[in-house]
Amino acid sequence: MNTVIDKDEVIRQVLEKKKYSHLDKDLVAFIAAEEIKKRASLKEAVKSTANKLHQVGWAYFAQQPDYTTHLHELAALPADLHADMSRQFCLQLMQEHASTRERLSILDEFYTILFSDIRPITSILDLACGFNPLALGWMPVAPDVRYNACDIFDDMNAFLQSFFAHFHIQGKAETCNLLSTIPQEKVQVALLLKTLPCLEQAEKESSRRILTDIRARTLIVSFPVHSIGGREKGMRQHYASQFEALLAELGWNYQKFLFASELAYRIEREL
C-alpha cells in the first residue's frame, strides 16, 4: 500500500529550515508536488525537495549573505552609482553569488557588446536576477532606465529594493517563481542569464514556455561554459546545440556571443 504524503507538511518542514525560509513559497510548493510523486515517505520527500531547491538556488552561494551588514554599508555610500566607493561595493557583493562572480572578469565587455546595437535602453526585466542588478553601473543604459528584477529569495529582493532606492533607480525587485509565473510588464530588454539550465532541472522542457511568455522585443539569454566547480565538461557545445535547435523551431532571429566565461544569445522577435 502506497503511503499518502501530505504536501503541506513537506512544504512546512522545508520552510522551517533556516536555509530555505526566505524562498518563494510557490516554488517550494511546485517542487514538493513533483518530488512527492517519486518518493515513498514524508522524510524522503522533504529531503529530495530540499536538495532540488539547493540545486536551483542555494548552490550559487557559499554562505548566507549578511544583508544587515550590507544595508549598513549601502547607507554609508554616496548616492552616485558610478562613484568609486559605490562600484567597489557592487563588485564586492557580486563576488558572493557564483553567477555574477564568474562574470566579473568580462563585466566591462559583456554589456557593452550585448547592448551595443539596441541603445538607448530604457527598460530592463532581469529574471532570476541574483546579484546582477548590482552590475547596473556597468550597463550602457539611459539615465532614467526602468529596471525590474525578480528572484526566488525574498530577503535578496528586499535588499535589492533598498539598493534601487539608495541610488534613485526606477527599480522594482519582486519574489517570483518562473516555473509558474512570468512577470508580464512589457519591456525593451529581458535578461535571462545562466538560468534556463537550473529551471530545466526542476521542470524538463520548461524553456520554450518561459521564453515565449516574456514580453520583451529583445531577449538576452546566456549559459555557463563550465560548472560552478570550474569544469567545462562539454557544456558550451551541449547548451548551444539544444538552444539553437529551440530557436530554429521558434523561428527567432539571434546573434551568438562567446565570452571567456559565458555563452550568450541576443534574440530579436516581434511581440
Q: Amino acid identity of 207?
A: S
User: pLDDT value at position 192?
Assistant: 97
Asked if the model's pLDDT at residue 13 lies above 80, the reply is yes
Asked if the model's pLDDT at residue 230 lies above 60, the reply is no
Q: What is the rounded distance in angstroms from the CA atom of residue 193 to the CA atom of residue 129?
A: 8
Grade residue 231 by pLDDT with cuts at 50, 70 and 90. Answer: low
Q: What is the rounded distance in angstroms from the CA atom of residue 214 to the CA atom of residue 185?
A: 9
Residue that the C-alpha cell 517542487 belongs to = 31
User: pLDDT value at position 67?
Assistant: 96
Query: By C-alpha distance, which of 13, 68, 75 is closest to 46?
Result: 13
Grade residue 1 by pLDDT with cuts at 50, 70 and 90. Answer: very low
CB 146 within 8 A of CB 124: yes
Asked if the model's pLDDT at residue 245 lies above 70, the reply is yes
CB 31 within 8 A of CB 39: no
Query: By C-alpha distance, which of 83, 70, 95 is closest to 167?
Result: 83
Q: Could you tell me which residue, 85 or 227, shows the higher pLDDT?
A: 85
Q: What is the rounded distance in angstroms from the CA atom of residue 190 to the CA atom of residue 185?
A: 10
Chain centroid to CA 56: how far? 10
Query: In terms of pTM, does the model score above 0.75?
Result: yes
Which architecture characterizes domain 67-268 according to CATH? 3-Layer(aba) Sandwich (3.40)
- What pLDDT digit, counting tens, does each position of 166-204 carry? 999 999 999 999 998 899 999 999 999 999 998 888 888
Give, for 130, the enclosing helix (H) or strand (E). Answer: none
Q: What is the rounded distance in angstroms from the CA atom of residue 234 to the CA atom of residue 55?
A: 20
CB 60 within 8 A of CB 19: no
